[in-house]
Amino acid sequence: MKPVQSSLKKWMQENENFKENYIKIKDEVLSDPEIKEFLALHPQLTKQELNRNLIKLYEYKTQSKQCSQCSSFGQCKNMLQGYSPILHMENNEIHLSYEKCHSRLHYEKEKDQQELIQSLYMPKEILQATIHGIDNDKTRSKAILELLSFIEKAKSGLPQKGIFFYGPFGVGKTYFLGAIANKLKELNISSMLIYMPEFTREIKASLKDDTINEKVEYFKKADVLMIDDIGAEMQSAWFRDEILGSILQYRMMERLPVFFTSNYDLKQLEEQLASTRAGVEKVKAGRIIERIKQVSQAVEVSGDNRREQ
C-alpha cells in the first residue's frame, strides 16, 4: 500500500482546483499580520513544519481574537463560544489553544452576580430595579438617603440593621428592595427577596413534603433578607411565632440585616400581627415588632401612587 502522503500528493496534482485553492489559502494565512509576527519570533520553523500546521494557522487566522470581530458574547463567531485563540510553541512545535475572551469573562461575572439574588415570587421588573431608576423627589429623599447610606456602609462590612420601608400602596417601596439587592450583588453580597403572602403559602405547603426546616434555615442565614408586604394578610399565630419569629430571632442574635416593606407603620403592623384566627394577642405581636426594630430601622416612603400613572 502506498503511503497516504504520496496518494494525497498525487490527488492534489490531479485536482488543479484544489491545488490552486490550497496555495491561495496558504498565501493568505502566511500574509496575515499576526501570523507573520508569530513566525518572525520563531525563525527556526521549517517549510515542512508550516505545511504540517497550516490547518492550525488557518484556524487561528479565521477566529476572532479577544472579541475584535464580535459585538457581544451572544454574537461570538468563534468555534468555541467565548474563547479566543492563542498561538504558542512547545518543544519546537506549533500549538493552538484557547482562553476565555473579555466578553465571556464579563458574561460569567454577571451570571455569578445574578445568582447572588434569590427571590420567592417577586416580579421580574423588581429583580431588574436599579438605584438610578428610583425617582428622587422630596417625599422620598429620606428613604433614598438611608438606602444609599446602607450601601456605602456595606462596602466595608455588612450593617447590622436593614430598613423598614413603610407607606401607602404604590409609592415604590418594593422597587427599593430590588434596587438595593442589585447594588449589593456588585459588592458580592447575596440577598433573598420574599413576597410575604406567597411566602406564607410556601411554608404551609412545605409541611407536606417535610422541607420546612430546610427552607426556614435558608431564610435565617441569608446575607441580607428582604420581606416584601409584611402585614398584607392575616397570618396564623403559628406562622407568626414559629416561623417569622424564629427567623427574626436568629437574625437579631447573629446581627444580620433585614429589609421590610409594609403599608403599615410599626404601631399599625403590631395591631395587624396581633389579630389572628385565635383572637387578639398583643404580647406576642409586640415581640415580633421588637425583633423588627432590632434588625431594621423604620423609614417612611410617601408620594403619589406610581401604579396609577
Residue 110 located in a structural domain: no
The DSSP call for residue 256 is: -
Chain segment 257-303, per-residue pLDDT in tens: 999 999 999 999 999 999 877 788 999 999 999 999 999 999 999 87
Pair 181, 226: CB distance under 8 Å: yes
Domain, as residue range, for 82 = 4-104
- Going from the C-alpha of 241 to that of each of 134, 199, 275, 284, the distances in angstroms are 35, 15, 13, 7
- Going from the C-alpha of 300 to that of each of 8, 139, 173, 270, 304, the distances in angstroms are 82, 9, 9, 16, 13
Q: Copy the grid coordinates of residue 14.
A: 490531479
C-alpha 144/C-alpha 126 separation (Å) is 16
What is the percent of the chain with per-residue pLDDT over 70, rounded to a whole number? Answer: 89
- Give residue 92's pLDDT: 82
pLDDT-based confidence at residue 1 (cuts at 50, 70, 90): very low
Pair 86, 99: CB distance under 8 Å: yes
Sign (positive/negative) of CA torsion 230, 236, 241, 243? negative
Task: Count how many Cα atoms sit within 13 Å of the Cα of residue 272 in the half-sphere of its side chain.
Answer: 16
Residue 303 located in a structural domain: yes
pLDDT-based confidence at residue 12 (cuts at 50, 70, 90): low
Q: Is the whole-model pTM more than 0.85?
A: no
* Domain stop point among 85, 104, 123: 104
Both 90 and 120 in one domain: the answer is: no
Both 28 and 140 in one domain: the answer is: no
Mean pLDDT of the chain: 85
pLDDT-based confidence at residue 46 (cuts at 50, 70, 90): confident
Chain segment 150-159, per-residue pLDDT in tens: 999 999 999 9
Chain segment 57-106, per-residue pLDDT in tens: 888 888 888 888 887 878 888 888 888 889 999 888 899 898 988 888 77
Residue 109 located in a structural domain: no
Residue 154 located in a structural domain: yes
Both 184 and 282 in one domain: the answer is: yes
Both 58 and 187 in one domain: the answer is: no
Pairing label, strands 224-228, 296-300: unpaired
Pairing label, strands 279-280, 275-276: antiparallel
* Domain stop point among 54, 72, 104: 104
Chain segment 31-44, per-residue pLDDT in tens: 989 989 988 999 98
Total structural domains in the chain?
Answer: 2
* Domain stop point among 104, 123, 148: 104
276, containing H or E segment: strand 275-276
Q: Give mean pLDDT, residues 137-147.
A: 88
Chain segment 184-228, per-residue pLDDT in tens: 988 889 899 999 988 888 888 888 777 888 888 888 989 999 999
